[in-house]
């Protein structure tokens, strides 16, 4: 195993400075790229316009109409308000700010376990994923729960349990599927307090705040649903039956990363499978350490998100939490040189995937061509196609124009018209 030069007894001072400022370089690079991409409009996702509509209904008619079954009150109100104040420029800027803050929080969570350079490269590997970039530079709600969840984890580590409970509630209000993720985080954190029993009352206060704030934030959608739990429903994706669902699950798990990146990841984990199996077999309880608990918590989060995606393999962005899980697992490998090489390669291949998509299938849409971009059919056709970011930008000429035009017609009596630079 290659030793970690940062953790050696007498590290080189120049190398030390490079490592410590690596995250500044990473965040600056990503921030500049994100800011440029925020100028391209609200985005192609139809949920954006439903969320803005929910806010306008509250403001103009003093009643709440959920944008979807579950509502997601926090992003609805924030995206709607920022859109009204500063059009897509401000609402996209909030997304970019939350995305950058999420990557910095992840870096801070990695620092106790690894050196600054691979921690920064881990954030870079996430921040260059094309689907993360799209979420970070448009007015979607996918970065909202990620930010509040990571903030809650960070606050837990700072033993600020009440604030952590509130942050977790905001995460669940931004996406309901984060509820079990919060339970996993709290469950694996609790054993760390075995030797600090005076902290337990504050911890349970944080749990109660989480439950109470979550209930309060979902009260509007509960009322709007007629005082029942019908808002817990979801639109199932059954195109092609069970076989089609399995095919979409497998395909999207590969092309969420891009084929070259997926091959690199598969090769890395297969080659180092003995190490990860040994770590898995070292159950963290009763002799729990933060490193063991974190490792098994991340495995649980990874499995949970894969099970959820297997149930509904619809939007690629549903897989965003596994970005953090997989990168964390790579950083747990003790070979410093392999950490740096693997994470650097993933970041580069993610950027390539944004511009060039090396694919073995030609996907298409079987159903009617509506405002939601969703491929539900495919045939074998290897080739090089436009990358995820290029394709998203090209689609703005059709989908974003269609969505903004329909929204402006619907809300012609109230509020400013939505702009569309494409």
Distance CA 311, CA 299 (A): 19
* 90-94, 133-137, 173-177, 238-242: least confidently modelled range: 238-242
For the chain, the three-class secondary structure string (H helix, E strand, C coil) is CCCCHHHCCCCCHHHHHHHHCHHHHHHHHHHHHHHHHHHHCCCCCHHHHHHHHHHHHHHHHCCCCCCCCCCCHHHHHHHHHHHHHHHHHHHHHHHHHHHHHHHHHHHHHHCCCCCHHHHHHHHHHHHCCHHHHHHHHCCCCCHHHHHHHHHHHHHHHCCCHHHHHHHHHHHHHHCCCHHHHHHHHHHHHHHHHCCCHHHHHHHHHHHHHHHHHHHHHHHHHHHHCCCCCHHHCCCCCCCCHHHHHHHHHHHHHHHCCCHHHHHHHHHHHHHCHHHHHHHHHCCCCCCCCHHHHHHHHHHHHHHHHHHHHHHCCCCHHHHHHHHHHHHHHHHCCCCHHHHHHHHHHHHHHHHHHHHEEEEEEEEECCCCCCCCCCCCEEEEEEEEEECHHHHHHHHHHHHHHHHHHHHHHHCCCCCCCCCCCC
Average pLDDT, stretch 107-121? 92
| Cα 236 to Cα 44, 285, 338, 386, distances in angstroms | 21, 38, 41, 29
What is the chain's length? 422
Identify the CA nearest to 167 among candidates 191, 148, 143.
148
Distance CA 121, CA 15 (A): 15
Handedness of CA 337, 342, 343, 349 (dihedral sign): positive
Contact call for residues 351 and 29 (beta carbons, < 8 A): no
The pTM score is 0.93
How distant is the alpha carbon of residue 154 from its chain centre? 16
Token match 């399995």: residue? 246
| 421: its two tokens | 């630079």
| 235: its two tokens | 């639109």
Distance CA 64, CA 105 (A): 33
What is the per-residue pLDDT across 22-58, written as a single tens digit (0 to 9) for each? 999 999 999 999 999 999 999 999 999 999 999 999 9
Average pLDDT, stretch 2-19? 48
| Cα 283 to Cα 112, 189, 270, 305, 407, distances in angstroms | 20, 14, 21, 21, 53
What is the per-residue pLDDT across 261-317, written as a single tens digit (0 to 9) for each? 999 999 999 999 999 999 998 877 667 788 889 999 999 999 999 999 999 898 899
Share of the chain above pLDDT 90, in %: 75
Contacts with 391 (C-beta within 8 Å, 6 or more apart), sequence order: 357, 385
Contacts with 367 (C-beta within 8 Å, 6 or more apart), sequence order: 239, 374, 376
Model confidence band, residue 245 (pLDDT cutoffs 50, 70, 90) = confident
What is the per-residue pLDDT across 367-417, written as a single tens digit (0 to 9) for each? 655 444 566 677 788 889 999 999 999 999 999 999 999 999 999 988 889
What is the per-residue pLDDT across 137-165, written as a single tens digit (0 to 9) for each? 999 999 999 999 999 999 999 999 999 99
Identify the CA nearest to 234 among candidates 68, 80, 81.
68
Model confidence band, residue 170 (pLDDT cutoffs 50, 70, 90) = very high
Over 80: is that where the pLDDT of 18 sits? no
């Amino acid at each position: 195993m290659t030793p970690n030069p940062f953790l050696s007894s007498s590290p080189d001072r120049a190398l030390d400075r490079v490592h410590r400022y690596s995250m500044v370089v990473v965040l600056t690079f990503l921030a500049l790229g994100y800011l440029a991409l925020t100028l391209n409009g609200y985005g192609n996702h139809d949920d954006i316009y439903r969320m803005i509509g929910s806010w306008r209904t509250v403001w103009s008619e003093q009643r709440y109409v959920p944008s979807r079954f579950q509502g997601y009150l926090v992003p609805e109100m924030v995206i709607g308000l920022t859109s009204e104040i500063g059009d897509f420029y401000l609402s996209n800027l909030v997304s970019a700010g939350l995305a950058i803050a999420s990557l910095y929080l992840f870096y801070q969570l990695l620092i106790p376990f690894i050196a600054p350079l691979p921690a920064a490269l881990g954030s870079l590997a996430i921040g260059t994923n094309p689907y993360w970039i799209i979420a970070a530079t448009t007015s979607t709600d996918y970065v909202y729960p990620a930010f509040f969840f990571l903030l809650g984890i960070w606050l837990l580590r700072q033993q600020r349990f009440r604030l952590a409970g509130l942050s977790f509630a905001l995460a669940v209000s931004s996406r309901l599927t984060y509820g079990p993720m919060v339970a996993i985080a709290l469950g694996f954190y609790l054993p760390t307090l075995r030797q600090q029993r005076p902290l337990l009352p504050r911890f349970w206060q944080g749990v109660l705040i989480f439950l109470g704030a979550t209930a309060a934030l979902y009260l509007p959608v509960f009322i709007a649903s007629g005082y029942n739990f019908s808002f817990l429903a979801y639109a199932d994706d059954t195109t092609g039956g069970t076989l089609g669902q399995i095919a979409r699950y497998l395909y999207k798990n590969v092309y969420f990363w891009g084929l070259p990146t997926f091959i690199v990841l598969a090769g890395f984990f297969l080659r180092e499978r003995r190490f990860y199996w040994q770590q898995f077999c070292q159950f963290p309880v009763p002799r729990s350490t933060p490193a063991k608990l974190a490792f098994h918590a991340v495995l649980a989060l990874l499995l949970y998100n894969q099970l959820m995606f297997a149930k509904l393999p619809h939007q690629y962005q549903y897989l965003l939490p596994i970005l953090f899980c997989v990168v964390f697992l790579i950083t747990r490998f003790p070979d410093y040189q392999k950490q740096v090489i693997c994470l650097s390669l993933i970041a580069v291949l993610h950027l390539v995937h944004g511009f060039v998509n090396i694919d073995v299938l030609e996907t298409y849409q079987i159903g009617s061509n509506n405002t939601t971009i969703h491929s539900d059919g495919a045939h074998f056709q290897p080739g090089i196609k436009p990358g995820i970011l290029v394709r998203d930008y090209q689609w703005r000429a059709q989908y974003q124009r269609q969505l903004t035009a329909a929204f402006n017609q619907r809300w012609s009596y109230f509020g400013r018209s939505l702009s569309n630079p494409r």
